[in-house]
Structure 1
Amino acid sequence: MANVVTFRGKVLQDPPLVQRILNDPRAGWLWFLPRLWLGWQWIQAAEHKIFNPAWVNGGDALKGFWSNAVAVPEGGRPAIAFDWYRSFIQALLDAQAYTWFAKLVAYGELLIGIALILGAFTGIAAFFSGLMNWNFMMAGSASTNPMLFTVAIGLILAWKVAGHVGADYYLLRWIGVPWRSTDEQPAAGTAPGVMTGKRSAEPAAGD
């Protein structure tokens, strides 16, 4: 991977505090409460929708939300600031996508909340959390979405450690990542899962 190098030949590094917060598994405790809070917010939001027939039986609630969002008042400011996004929502309305999209929203919020509370695939759950917040904000609904979006971005950046106090402690070790990873031998006396920042100088057997 290419690095940003100064004219003096020095590689630019992240500040040590940023490295600890985003990469050190011990920072998992720092992300524990924000992760639980965000997950609980999504479960509460899902509960109001799943037990509301207007959401899960026909999607009338979502239809009303979209209809209000695409409306352009004569003397006021429209809820949606970008024409391309208004056209996108209008296309969903015309296709009557709310009949199935409402269920996707309701149960998607529930799955996101459960995953965040369990700390399972935290980075993926946080991504879809932020995506839903972004769509709500694009449709003109602020409410708590900016705060939820901010926490989700933090969890995305700290995806390796944000679920360390949770299921990701095991999941990330069992499954790994689809992109390239490097082998690292933990230093003597170091607990499993704690990054030392040092690589073994001994070549692996067979190299």
Structure 2
Amino acid sequence: MMNQWLRNNDKVAMVLAVIRIYLGYTWLMAGIGKVTGGFETSGFLQAAIGKAEGVHPAVQPWWAAFLETVALPNHEIFTFLVMWGEVLVGIALILGLFTNFAALAGILMNFAFLLSGTTSTNPQMVILTIFLIVAGANAGKYGLDRWVMPYLRQQTPIRKILHLPNHA
């Protein structure tokens, strides 16, 4: 019942648009700050790895191992992905363009930051993003998804990839 209400109600779609734009603005401002501020991930990654020690580590050993063996040696790539990922997620959420994909990308970044021992605004962003993801298409109803998604569904290559019937 709650799921149907989130996915189909026009008034809920308006509230979701406000949440979506708030999250988008938050991501965009964080990303712009990183792009223009000389952001570099190596210090953050080293600090996160250091939080994996002690009796009650803030970072789990399996995540620290990933950071140490994959992320830290490739910190330039991760720097680029974080900066521009935040900017692109922000723009997409503000515009309501590919809303569900942007929300999934955003929540993935939130969880990566949380797993790395950083709290900040990440928990509230996760909670709000869950509403967008559960709401599905209704989260982008008052955005560009309203026109872009029906257009994409009508395109033959997309229809074949998604195995959609011709009459949909």
Superposition pairs for residues 140-151 of structure 1, below 5 Å?
A: 140-151=117-128
1:142-181 alpha-carbon deviations (Å, 9 max, x no partner):
1110000111111111121111101000011111372557
| Distance in 1 between residues matched to 2:131 and 2:68, nearest whole Å | 32
Q: Which has the higher helix share?
A: 2
Residue equivalent to 1:39: 24
Identity of aligned residues (%): 32
Q: Deviations over 1:35-54 (max 9, x none)?
A: 0000000011112100122x
Look up the match of 2:58.
79
More deviation, 26-35/163-172: 26-35
Indicate which of 4, 13, 18 corresponds to 1:28.
Answer: 13
The residue aligned with 1:111 is 88
1:199 corresponding residue in structure 2: none
Gaps of 5+ in 2: 154-158
Name the count of aligned residue pairs: 161
Check the 8 A contact 1:69/1:78 in 2, yes or no.
Answer: no
Contact 1:70 1:78 in 2 (8 A): no
Separation in structure 2 between the aligned mates of residue 139 and residue 173 of structure 1, nearest angstrom: 38
1:49 match = 34
| Number of the residue aligned with 1:69 | 48
Residue type matched to 1:83 in 2? P
Secondary structure of residue in 1 paired with 2:151: helix
Decide whether the 8 Å contact of 2:52 with 2:64 is kept in 1: no
TM value normalised by structure 2: 0.86
Q: Mark the runs of 5 or more structure 1 residues left unpaired by the alignment.
A: 1-14, 185-207
Q: Greater relative contact order (Cα 8 A, min sep 6): structure 1 or 2?
A: 2
The residue identity in structure 1 corresponding to 2:56 is R
TM-score by length of 1: 0.70
The answer to which of 71-80 and 164-173 deviates more is: 71-80
The alignment's C-alpha RMSD in Å is 2.2
Q: Secondary structure at the match of 2:139?
A: coil
Divergent runs of 4+, >4 A: 72-76, 179-184
Of 148-157 and 68-77, more deviation after overlay is shown by 68-77
Of 18, 31, 39 in structure 1, the residue corresponding to residue 3 of structure 2 is 18
